[in-house]
Amino acid sequence: MRAVRQSGTEPEIAVRSALESMGVAFTTNVKGMPGSPDIWIDDGGAPIFVHGCFWHRHAGCTKATTPKTNREYWVKKFEQNKARDARKVQELRDLGHAAVTIWQCETSDRQRLIEILSSRLKIG
């Protein structure tokens, strides 16, 4: 057993815990890959990004609000974040790895999270 109680955001910890219960082997703190994915599924090499809905702009999500003050600054910042995310996904794809994104708001319900992981990772 590897030590799994490492640092990480709450959503990341929820995803790791769900993967463990599914019996999926994975690595965290992946270095040397575009974007340093939060989690790397060992079998098949699928990178997983666990994204905060606010910072990474989850489309249609109630958490993806835009602050009213300094609006211009925020809009620019969010555009940069989205562009960076898209670039990372493309770089990984170029290396033959299809990245999976899990959103913060998808991690609160464990059973639902397991279903989401199964379908996006095409497990089971």
Which residues of this protein are in contact with Zn ion, per CB under 5 A?
Answer: 53, 58, 61, 63, 103, 105
Please enumerate in sequence order all residues whose Cβ is within 8 A of that of 50, keeping only pairs 6 or more positions apart, or say none.
Answer: 9, 11, 12, 15, 38, 39, 102, 104, 107
93 Cβ contact list (under 8 Å, min separation 6):
99
State in angstroms the smallest separation of the CB of 47 from Zn ion: 19
Minimum CB–partner distance for residue 60 and Zn ion (Å): 8
Q: Between 50 and 89, whose beta carbon lies closer to Zn ion?
A: 50
* Interatomic CA distance for residues 48 and 36, integer angstroms: 10
What are the backbone angles phi and psi of residue 101, rounded to the nearest 5°?
-105, 130
Q: Which is nearer to Zn ion, 45 or 52 (CB)?
A: 52
Q: How far is the CB of 104 from Zn ion (least distance, A)?
A: 6
Nearer to Zn ion, 29 or 65 (CB): 65
